[in-house]
């Protein structure tokens, strides 16, 4: 084998090892990312589970606030007919 062929094999081997090392590093990063994303998904699911009972309450509160808003609008209309001195 000539010196050029041996040098080409050595360079090819170094390149293959460098590429393999880089790919292993990417695999480790992706595994860490997967673990982190799993924790985030677990946390979001826990939050969604804890807030689930609030949905019904928000609807009830919204209905009550709509009634209060209607009453306040009626009161504002009534107060507009009263002279300014008596309104305060």
Residues 45 and 34 in one domain: yes
What domain count does the chain have?
2
CA distances, 66 to each of 14, 17, 79 (Å): 73, 70, 20
pTM over 0.95: no
**What pLDDT was estimated at residue 33?**
96
Residues 48 and 12 in one domain: yes
The structure tokens 């990417």 sit at 26
pLDDT along the chain (88 residues), means of 10: 94 97 97 96 92 81 89 88 57
Range of the domain at 38: 1-52
Give the integer Cα–Cα distance in Å for 83 and 77: 12
């Amino acid at each position: 084998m000539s010196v050029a062929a041996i040098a080409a094999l050595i360079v090819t081997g170094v390149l293959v090892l460098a590429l393999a090392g880089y790919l292993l590093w990417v695999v480790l990063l992706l595994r860490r990312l997967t673990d982190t994303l799993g924790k985030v998904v677990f946390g979001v699911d826990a939050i969604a589970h804890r807030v689930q009972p609030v949905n019904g309450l928000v609807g009830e509160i919204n209905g009550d606030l709509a009634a209060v808003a209607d009453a306040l609008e009626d009161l504002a209309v009534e107060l507009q007919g009263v002279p300014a001195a008596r309104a305060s």
